[in-house]
Structure 1
């Protein structure tokens, strides 16, 4: 698998020895399980891995190691900070036509102005990485790339060392036994500040009825405690296996794993075309096909849920009108059915205007009314006032972009922060004028269920 730097790369190594250069090289990898490759990095890169698979299974990414890390602690300019830093790196890229585009993967916090809880201390308001080793499965083809960001005079030697390490990781993933572990043993489930949540829903409902806001999303959390430490690959395996229709993601940092299986795409850009999804309004799945259809019809006709959904449609369509042309969107929502819940769903797409990148759209879209409220500024202030919780990266944008400008971000719901033998799970719902605290509380349990089940917890079986 080893080969020398090409003539193009050799010449660049000798030029501008103190300038940042961004090298990449891609090889075909045959058939490799993405989770086996993820696990191959366990011993040396335990805190430097990520995992991504889109909902239709046409794109899987695994990152091991850090070629570089981009972060921001800014409240107002974090999206621009990451965009600017990434554009500088893109300009320094040296690749051949056959090489895959390097990716930048990471996420943003939900609200940099919120209170900061201890479990989220390691995560800044923006955290992104370019992996040293990038597995890509796209439309059934598996490749592995080396990415090197360097100012060193010895780039050729660095690259050769990375080739040796790449081959070692591939060998581990292909040859060594990959034992899928059983689900964790949950010893206790703790509801965190339940009384505060119930009071927050009641208070917000009153304020909405007073005309202060139209909708506000209130979230809460629960803590799972396990008999022993839970490996990251175990969590990713079970959430991916049980939530087939969702986006799967995992991001490691400082001994923690933020992971989940979200049904909600925030934005995708592919060859200059942008795609988003308006997802809001929900109801449980039925125990039979007949009951399931009845629930779906009830959801489609329910005034509260249709109103909640329309807030999201209005906001996302306005963003597309600002950044896109040739917009297409159906007039009425349809149903998105996933394992534990069904949602109202309206897709939208448009052609991205020149000069717009994916971070422009992420900034404009976050938070959607599905995770924040209406009006946005008022709802965010109310959330800060009454929720009394740091959402961290829950309900925030997580995803990737590449050096060609393509990329996809999802909304990180149905998610958890795994920390050794503990996990913090998050769920919320949209509060409107006729919301009832007890029903909203029950709905959060439905939304906890996917991650709860993947981690060995049980709710009514």
Structure 2
């Protein structure tokens, strides 16, 4: 299993420590090796009683998994969050020692995390553990990509550390994490279910519609919350297993911060970067799935030709194209959307591809794209101002960019929808919809009910 020998580990650590000049200085040492295939969720579960702050990421398109355990380094930014996060990431890489002969996506130094939807909106205790920009480089990272499996160990070393002691601690922890752990199958029971101010939410939809009809705003996305209480503490591993079983076409994610966990199954990619090749996704316009093949096909055709949904989708396509055009070359945008089917829902889908210019980074693209019209509205600033003023919800990381980036110039971020914030025996679920000039508050309310279903169904609802 181990290609990186113990004496190599000690030598790498020793050289890194020798290069540290002062007691206040540090260096991140990252070592990657190929391992035999290990079940990603089992690895996640094995860490439950060993390390806090686990992270799980799955992209079904490439059979790609990332599981982060613990934290070797954190990047937190409150002000000028995109610029500060990018600066801190680059400074970390400049000082790091990286042993990674594979350079596969998701290996080497990888930071996993996300950002809040709107740092200008006052925060509440609900999201106190999730900062405006918060990324973690885990102590242990298991990566599964194209049927190959890798383990990356990240160790923050200081001047007076001892290489052998660090190597021994690393080996002992690794052995503990690779103990086979079965996923505890949990049948959660919802003891309390409460929609947060549904009548007031419909009234906000009416206000948004009125604002649109008397201004230059074309669309405002409004979100709402559902509160659940369970009969016992929720087991995150069990919930993830259910999400993997029921939403194989979505990004499955879980980000633990102390006792809280934000998780979900989102179909919406924000951006993917492989070296300089960029892929973004326009996913807007929603309909349910049919109960029969014929009904499903009829609903798909209706969605493709529905004026409201096509307008909503076109807003997103135009915005993404305009947002990234100055940062890219070879921009390619199809003229017509196609249907993107999921377990409970289907969406209008348009992929956008381009080549990223050398002077721009993944964080630059995220800043330009977030929030897309599918989560904020259009024009961006005017719709955000309405949301800040009227939406009775602390979105936190809901609807915001979550994902990962690595030291090999790869990364991928999704939009955190179809999600829930778990706090032991409680959960807050989030869903939103786009309000346009012809919106009907009752119909928008029913659309959010449909969007609650992916998380509600795996939480005992």
What's the TM-score once normalised by structure 1's chain length? 0.95
Question: Contact between 2:98 and 2:109, CA under 8 Å: does it hold in 1?
Answer: no
Structure 2: runs of 5 or more not aligned: none
Residue 177 of structure 2 corresponds to: 169
Cα pair distance change 1:179/1:373, threshold 3 Å? closer
Distance 1:60 1:24, change over 3 A: same
Q: How far, CA to CA, are the matches of 1:319 and 1:433 in structure 2?
A: 24
CA contact (8 A) 2:33 2:100 kept: no
Query: Which residue in the other structure is 1:302 paired with?
Result: 306
Deviation at 1:155, TM superposition (A): 5.2
In the alignment, which residue of structure 2 is the partner of 1:218?
A: 222
Contact 1:117–1:389 (Cα < 8 Å) also in 2: no
**What's the secondary structure of 1:429's corresponding residue?**
strand
For each residue in 1:353-372, what CA deviation from the matched residue of structure 2 results, as whole angstroms up to 9, or x when unmatched?
A: 00211111111100000000
- In 1, the alpha carbon distance for the partners of 2:306 and 2:186 equals 40
TM-superposed deviation, 1:21: 1.6
| Alignment TM-score, normalising by the size of structure 2 | 0.95
RMSD: 1.4
SS of residue matched to 1:53 = strand
- 1:120-135 pair list within 5 angstroms: 120-135=127-142
Residue 233 of structure 1 and its aligned partner are, at CA, apart by 1.0
Moved more, 147-156 or 248-257: 147-156
Alignment of 1:167-316 (within 5 A): 167-170=175-178, 172=179, 174=180, 176=181, 178-316=182-320
1:91 match: 94
Which of the residues 42, 45, 60 maps onto 2:48? 42
Q: Is the 8 A contact 2:32 2:100 kept in 1?
A: no
- C-alpha contact (below 8 Å) 2:31/2:108 kept by paired residues: no
Deviation at 1:57, TM superposition (A): 4.1
Secondary structure at 1:305 match in 2: helix
* Contact 2:20 2:159 (C-alpha < 8 Å) held by counterparts: no
| 1:366-409 deviation per Cα after TM superposition (whole angstroms, max 9, x unaligned) | 00000000111110011111111100100000000001121000
Contact 1:183 1:238 in 2 (8 A): no
5 Å-filtered alignment, 1:281-360, equals 281-360=285-364
* CA deviation after TM superposition for structure 1 residue 64, in Å: 0.4
Q: Does 1:78 align with 2:81?
A: yes
Confirm or deny that 1:16 pairs with 2:20: yes
Moved runs in structure 1, 4+ residues, more than 6 A?
A: none
Q: CA deviation at 1:320?
A: 2.3
Q: Secondary structure at the match of 1:392?
A: coil
Tell me which of 112, 116, 119 is aligned to 2:123: 116
2:153 to 146, 160, 170: 146
Match of residue 68, structure 2, among 27, 44, 63: 63
Match of 2:448? 444
The answer for the alignment partner of 2:108 in structure 1 is 101
What is the SS of the residue equivalent to 1:95? strand
Taking the aligned partners of 1:384 and 1:256, their CA distance within structure 2 comes to: 25
Using the alignment, how far apart are the partners of 1:226 and 1:6 within structure 2?
A: 47
Aligned length: 450
Q: Which moved further from structure 2: 228-237 or 429-438?
A: 228-237
CA distance in 2, matches of 1:349, 1:268: 10
Q: 1:17, 1:163 → 2: CA distance?
A: 27
Measure the CA separation in 2 of the matches of 1:300 and 1:417: 33
Kept after mapping to 1: 8 A contact 2:266/2:418: yes
The separation in 1 between residues aligned to 2:162 and 2:141, in whole angstroms, is 19
Would the aligned equivalents of 1:26 and 1:143 in 2 still touch at CA under 8 Å?
A: yes
Residue 13 of structure 1 deviates from its aligned partner by 2.4
Instruction: Work out whether 1:52 is the aligned partner of 2:54.
Output: no
- 1:414-441 per-residue CA deviation (whole Å, 9 max, x = no partner) reads 0000001111000000000000000000
CA distance in 2, matches of 1:13, 1:345: 50
SS at match of 2:60: coil
Report the alpha carbon displacement of residue 212 of structure 1 after superposing the two structures with TM.
Answer: 4.1
| Conservation of the 8 A alpha-carbon contact between 2:99 and 2:108 | no
**CA spacing shift, 1:73–1:37, aligned 2, 3 Å:** same
Q: Distance in 2 between matches of 1:318 and 1:424?
A: 34
Deviation of 1:6 (Å): 6.2
